[in-house]
Each structure stands twice: as structure tokens, then as C-alpha cells.
Chain A
Amino acid sequence: MTLFRNVVFLAALAGLCAGLVMTALQITSTVPLILQAETFEGAAPQAHEHGAAEAGAGHSHAAGAPAHVHDEDGWAPADGFERTAYTTLANIVTGIGFALLLVVASEFTSGITTLRQGLLWGFAGFAIFTLAPGLGLPPELPAMPAADLTARQVWWTGTVAATAAGLALVVYGRASWLAIIGIALLVAPHLIGAPQPVNHDSPVPEGLHHQFVVAVTVTNLVFWAVLGVATALLRGRMLDRSVVARPRLA
């Protein structure tokens, strides 16, 4: 279990670093846009008067229907410090989760041994978890119409898995036909297409949404770069120290 312990320890430290950086980025860029969008919740879409009725009939989360109805049913953190604290916690916990995947995937090859490798692995994570799913399901703000939640989660998960497998085949596939299958896996989710709402009429201004898409994409890019670099640095330190304390990690 030495390997398991080392991987978890490395991922915990790298995830903590990247999660804290991500929290700072979100507080300054994405969260203000989310709060701004929340002021549109319950408002009618700007365009097409018939849009509200159509979307409202489609499902309860569409624009036109009062969004966030469910927020009042269950517990939710109070705005301000408490809400920020939970965002921080979510960032750190999932930062560790993403770090576990990054470390495990890289250890299946030769491990992240240089900063450049860390960056490349980070970019792979960005492509898998942000770019690919974001093409079909762009980052959405509160009050925006969306298709059925479970359907979107299934497409998101499938896209992430297919993109990860596709990239792995392109980079590590020994035969050229494996790389071709890899490309096919990268493209397939977008041929299938992400579940879309009945219509896209939204009370959220397009400019605000565009700003949000850019903010989410760029903050995630930085998150993954930091995660990859932190993994490279911490892994190097862990191994150096083990050489001093004990000749081997086992």
C-alpha cells in the first residue's frame, strides 16, 4: 500500500495548492458573474414572448419557470463568508480528486518528472475536463435554460471518458490504427451531440454569458497548469526526501 499512500499524499498536496489558487481565481472572476446572473432568475427571457411559455412547459429549470425553486426547499449556505467557504472546500476536495486522476494516469506511464511534463499532463486534463465537454455544454449561468440534468451529466461523463481514452490512444497507441481510433473517440461525443434545451431564450444577457464562458475556460486552464506543475514539484521533493530518509519509497 506504499504506492497508494504516496499517490494520495502527493495528490492531496497538489490538489490543495491548485484548489486554493482556483478559489482565488473564481472569487475574482466567475463568482461575481454568477451573482450577477442570479438577479435574472425568475425573469422572463428577453426575446420571443412565446419562448417563456414553451420553455416553462418543457421543464421546471427552463427560463420562464422560476429557477432555483429547489434552493428554498433544502439547506443552502448563507451568502458571503459561508458561501465562499463552501466554494473553497469544494475546490480543495475536487482539486485532490482531479490530482488523484492526474497522478494515477501519469504513474501508469513514467510519472511526471519535469515541470514541462507537468504542464503537458495539466493541458491534457484541461482538454478532457473543460474543453471537450464545454464544446457541447458551454459553461452555464444560473437562470439559463438547459436540457434534462441527468441527460447532460451522462453526456458530460461520456465525453470526458471518450476524450481521455482518445488522447491516451493518440499519444500512447503503438500502432497507427490505434491513433485513428483515438481521433474517432475524440470526435464521437460531438457527433452524438450534447442534450440541448427546447429553446435557448434566456433572461441572461448574451454578453454576460460570453464573459462567463471565457472566465470559466481560462480559470480552468490555469487550474490544470498549476495542478500539473505542483505535481511535478512535489513529486520531485517527495522522491528526493525519500532518498535521504530511506533509499526507497517502499
Chain B
Amino acid sequence: MIMTTTTLAPAGASVQTHTQVQALPLMMAALLGLLVIGFVGFSHIEAVHNAGHDYRHSMAFPCH
């Protein structure tokens, strides 16, 4: 059986610094996700609300 890498992180980081190396890019990716969801689901901008209207109702985001 071929051994495969099981982490998306750059390999080679020592075990001790592993978490530190991973934390920043992961937090940045999570922030990007939150911004995207917040903008589409929560924006009070009229046009954004109207464009995402059916989506917001279907996802049970607070709407109107």
C-alpha cells in the first residue's frame, strides 16, 4: 500500500512549529469564508439583498 500524505499543510515543518505554521493561513482562509457568507447572507445593501432573496429565505438567514 502506497503511503500518501494526509495533510494539506506544507510538509517539512518541524512538529513543534507545525501548528504555528498552519494557524495563520488557516485563519486567513476561514476569514475569507466568513466574509463571503456575511456579504451574501447578511448585507443590508438593497441590490445584494434582492439578488440573494430566494437564497436567503432558502437558507433561513434572517431576511427583511
Contacts and interface: CB of A to CB of B under 8 A. Distances in A.
A99 B8 CA distance: 15
A232 B52 CA distance: 28
Contacts of B35: 97
A90 B39 CA distance: 10
B41 A94 contact: yes
Contacts of B10: 2-3, 248-250
Interface residues of B, number: 46
Contact of B29 (A11, A142, A249): A11
Nearest to A154: B62
B6 A100 contact: no
B47 A108 contact: no
A199 B27 CA distance: 41
Contacts of A2: 9-10
Contacts of B57: 30, 34, 139-142, 216
B29 A100 contact: yes
B4 A86 contact: no
Interface in A63-114: 67-68, 70-71, 73-77, 83, 86-87, 89-91, 93-94, 96-101, 103-105, 107-108, 110-111, 113
A8 interface: yes
A76 B45 CA distance: 11
B25 A3 contact: yes
Interface stretch (A50-58, A168-176, A235-243): A235-243
B32 A30 contact: no
A99 B33 contact: yes
A76 B35 CA distance: 22
Contacts of B5: 239, 242-243, 247-249
16 contacts: A3-B10, A3-B21, A4-B28, A6-B8, A31-B54, A75-B46, A76-B47, A93-B36, A97-B32, A100-B29, A141-B57, A142-B57, A142-B64, A149-B64, A216-B57, A216-B60
